[in-house]
Amino acid sequence: MHLDARRRAAMTAERAQTPTVPVPNDLDAFWMPFTANRQFKSAPRLLAGAEGMYYRSHDGRTVLDGMSGLWCVNAGHARPRIVKAVQEQVAELDYAPPFQMGHPKAFQLSSRLVDLMPEGIDHVFYSNSGSEAVETALKIALAYHRQRGEAGRTRLIGRERGYHGVNFGGISVGGMVANRKAFGSNLLPGVDHLPHTHDLARNAFSRGLPRHGAELANALERLVQLHDASTIAAVIVEPMAGSTGVLLPPEGYLQRLRDICDKYGILLIFDEVICGFGRLGAPTAAEKFGVTPDIITMAKGITNGTVPMGATFVTGEIFDAFMNGPENAIELFHGYTYSAHPLAVAAALATLDTYAEEGLLTRADELAPYWEEKIHAFRGLPHVIDIRNYGLVGAIEFAAHPVGVGKRGYKVFVDAYEKGLLVRASGDIIAVAPPLIISKEQIDELFAILRGVLENLD
Ligand code: PXG
Ligand code: PLP
């Protein structure tokens, strides 16, 4: 029997002996994030345990994790090395203040992380989430230009359909309308957006990077003509936009953005909160796509999702621009109580060990051809208007149901969960991004469950 199948059988056997976890009798107090609270609480989906590729639901079912939790559990669940590292760390050093103090493992981790970054990106600033990593990146960009005597460079440029977390900077440069409209008048001033790159008319059913759309980067030139380069601080994009439904960069697009930024002295920020740590087959999307930004934001897979951590990576040039005042002066007035928290650091170190030992940061590359064949086999099923893939990410887009946008996406998500598979819906797009330890048999299992759902979609 295959190892994972054995583990699954063991989990099933264990489940038979242990009582299922009761649903808490009052679900009311918890205001759940990005959730239809009333709908959820009328039919809750609670997860009670996890190991390897599988969750265990509160009603005792085994659920294949097709989503790495929420794009973060890249090495699979409950990995012993990571569990042990966190357990030992909390007993050894539970907390250390990060302002004017340090702890040894934070420095070890930093050296190891920057070794994974593209050439030239060699410093890291810590936070607790992708959202905070983004705020940190935007603030560093503004402060960097000021340090160099270009304080007029304050304009930030994001992209339509971009997701950069939920804090004010992130939603200002972000481009998901529902995340912005309720907060409209308080978004940051001086922000523009590039057009998104999603083009089903030209690129539907692309395998890997879409062929058409590099010219959409030229919109940045137009913004420079409109505002003048001396007013623009930075451009932030996700190399692959995850949250909005897996939008891959057209061939040549990122390089063109890089060229325009270079021409005008604009910083280029890659938000790699989802792309990083092996999802696309390399430690960073920057490396995979051969385009090096000035700043990279990461989170999620940095600790395999176990302990919250965000990280903002910068070039030596950016770091050095801050290191020229008096030595007793604080160079950047920014930081979090939990920057480089010992538990997160311990989890990250053990996560990097696990990734290295098992070759996980490049494993998506090996599995990608198999994955691509499997997902594109859904072409022709009812309502499917696009399928796209890269590394160990895939998305299936459905035509909206006449009763409303999002109905089909939500239905696929719920039906899949009931049949034992966790996927993610964004409107009428379903994303799949399993842990990088997935076997070919489990890829088959994932798509077999999904097929059962899609064949019955009305
Ligand atoms: N940037 C990017 C590119 C992200 O994908 C964040 C920032 C924010 O990270 P935190 O850790 O603050 O959530 C993210 C997070 C989805 C989904 O539906 C994606 C994310 C979060 C929640 C849901 O695909 N990405
Ligand atoms: N609010 C108050 C009143 C605080 O004292 C602090 C930190 O000291 C914060 C917010 C910020 O919290 P954190 O550093 O965890 O982001």
Do 376 and 205 form a contact (C-beta atoms < 8 A)? Answer: yes
The answer on pLDDT for 262 being more than 90 is yes
Ligand 2 atom with least separation from CA of 339: 14
Please name the residues in contact with 149: beta carbons below 8 A apart, sequence gap of 6 or more. Answer: none
The answer on pLDDT for 287 being more than 70 is yes
Ligand 2 lined by 18 (C-beta under 6 Å):
no
Q: Residue 16's pLDDT band (boundaries 50, 70, 90)?
A: very low
- Which of 448, 429, 374, 441 is closest to 200 using CA atoms? 429
Ligand 1 atom with least separation from CA of 300: 11
Please name the residues in contact with 371: beta carbons below 8 A apart, sequence gap of 6 or more. Answer: 389, 392, 394, 443
Ligand 2 lined by 336 (C-beta under 6 Å):
yes
Ligand 2 lined by 218 (C-beta under 6 Å):
no
From 3.30.43.10, 3.40.50.300, 3.90.1150.10, 1.10.620.20, which CATH number describes the 5-78+359-454 domain? 3.90.1150.10
Residue 69: what pLDDT? Answer: 98
Ligand 2 lined by 337 (C-beta under 6 Å):
yes
Average pLDDT over residues 306-332: 98
Ligand 2 lined by 126 (C-beta under 6 Å):
no
Q: Which residue is closest in CA terms to ligand 2's atom 2?
A: 337
CA of 273 from ligand 2 middle (Å) equals: 23
The tokens for 167 are: 């804090």
Phi-psi region of 424 (alpha: psi -120 to 50; beta: other; left: phi over 0): beta
Average pLDDT over residues 62-67: 98
CA of 97 from ligand 2 middle (Å) equals: 13
CA of 335 from ligand 2 middle (Å) equals: 10
Q: Residue 1's pLDDT band (boundaries 50, 70, 90)?
A: very low
Residue 10: what pLDDT? Answer: 54
The answer on pLDDT for 155 being more than 60 is yes
- Which of 250, 200, 240 is closest to 397 using CA atoms? 200
Helix (H) or strand (E) holding 422: strand 421-422
Q: Where are the domains of the chain?
A: 5-78+359-454, 83-358
For residue 373, CA distances in Å to 107, 206, 377 come to 43, 12, 6
Which residues, listed in sequence order, are joined to residue 158 by a DSSP beta bridge? Answer: 193
Ligand 2 lined by 338 (C-beta under 6 Å):
yes
Cα separation of 173 and 176, whole Å? Answer: 10
Do 64 and 58 form a contact (C-beta atoms < 8 A)? Answer: no
Average pLDDT over residues 163-171: 98
386-441 pLDDT, tens digit per residue, is 999 999 999 999 999 999 999 999 999 999 999 999 999 999 999 999 999 999 99
Ligand nearest to the CA of 69: 1
Residue with tokens 């953005």: 257
Q: Which residue is closest in CA terms to ligand 2's atom 8?
A: 337
CA of 37 from ligand 1 middle (Å) equals: 19
Ligand nearest to the CA of 298: 1
- Which of 227, 237, 258, 259 is closest to 152 using CA atoms? 227
Average pLDDT over residues 317-341: 97
Cα separation of 20 and 46, whole Å? Answer: 11
Fill in the amino acid letter for 401. H
Share of the chain above pLDDT 70, in %: 95
* 260 vs 21: which has the higher pLDDT: 260
DSSP category for residue 191: E
End-to-end CA distance of the chain: 37
Cα separation of 88 and 76, whole Å? Answer: 20
Which residues, listed in sequence order, are joined to residue 326 by a DSSP beta bridge? Answer: none
Ligand nearest to the CA of 395: 1
**Average pLDDT, rounded, for the chain:** 95
**Edge-to-edge strands of the sheet including 393-398?**
384-390, 393-398, 429-432, 424-426
Ligand nearest to the CA of 339: 2
Ligand 1 atom with least separation from CA of 134: 7
The tokens for 333 are: 């007035």
Asked: is 83-358 a CATH 3.60.21.10 domain? The reply is no
* 19 vs 353: which has the higher pLDDT: 353
233-243 pLDDT, tens digit per residue, is 999 999 999 99
Cα dihedral 440, 446, 449, 455, rounded to 10, equals -90
Share of the chain above pLDDT 90, in %: 93
Cα separation of 432 and 422, whole Å? Answer: 8
Do 382 and 457 form a contact (C-beta atoms < 8 A)? Answer: yes
The answer on pLDDT for 86 being more than 70 is yes
Average pLDDT over residues 125-154: 98
Best substitution site from 135, 136, 168, 337 to test ligand 2's pocket, by max atoms within 8 Å of Cβ? Answer: 337
CA of 271 from ligand 1 middle (Å) equals: 10
Q: Which residue is closest in CA terms to ligand 1's atom 1?
A: 164
Best substitution site from 68, 171, 243 to test ligand 1's pocket, by max atoms within 8 Å of Cβ? Answer: 243
The answer on pLDDT for 175 being more than 70 is yes
Q: Residue 21's pLDDT band (boundaries 50, 70, 90)?
A: confident
DSSP string, 17-83: HSPPPPPPS---S---TTS-HHHHHHS---EEEEEBTEEEETTS-EEEETTHHHHT-TT-BS-HHHH
Average pLDDT over residues 267-271: 99
- Which of 129, 85, 131 is closest to 108 using CA atoms? 85
DSSP category for residue 250: P
Cα separation of 303 and 296, whole Å? Answer: 16
